[in-house]
Amino acid sequence: MSVQGGWTDKMKISELKMKMSSAVRNWRGQLSKHVQSNWRRLSGEFKRKYLKARTSESERYYTMRQKSNESAMEFFYRLNEAAVKADIRYKKGKKDSAHHIKRFIKNLRDQ
């Protein structure tokens, strides 16, 4: 049910509650009533807990490993994408390119 101009905050909270898994409902139950009844605060807490990355882009790049179901080429593409997001300019200089390739080789799985 919607009202002209969008949903009310109370309706948004109600819809979110209906769609939550039991684990998320348990998490929500631990929040203060003030947060549970305020859409802006509740959605902010939900995003912080369940949607936002907990690691920086550079940390993700430096700790990346090849997945067990991933080919070397897929891993290389994923590593390249992580490097771009971390603002590592591996395409610009020989030194950065060499470090990037060494990181790739070091983190390949044994096949």
Q: What are phi and psi of 17, to 5 degrees?
A: -60, -40
Q: What are phi and psi of 95, to 5 degrees?
A: -65, -50
Cα–Cα separations (whole angstroms), residue 56 to 7, 26, 27, 51, 75: 34, 28, 24, 14, 19
Counting the structural domains of the chain, the total is: 2
User: What's the pLDDT at 110?
Assistant: 76
pLDDT tens, position by position, 25-65? 899 999 999 999 999 999 999 888 888 667 888 999 999 99
**Burial label, 79 (beta-carbon count in 10 A; 0-12, 13-18, 19+):** buried
Token pair listed for 88: 């590592």
Q: Tell me the residue range of the domain where 16 lies.
A: 9-51
On whether both 65 and 101 belong to a single domain, the answer is yes
In a domain, 74, yes or no: yes
Q: Identify whether 46 is part of a domain.
A: yes
| Domain co-membership, 35 together with 73 | no
- Cα diameter, the chain: 59
pLDDT for 2: 47
Same domain, 17 and 47: yes
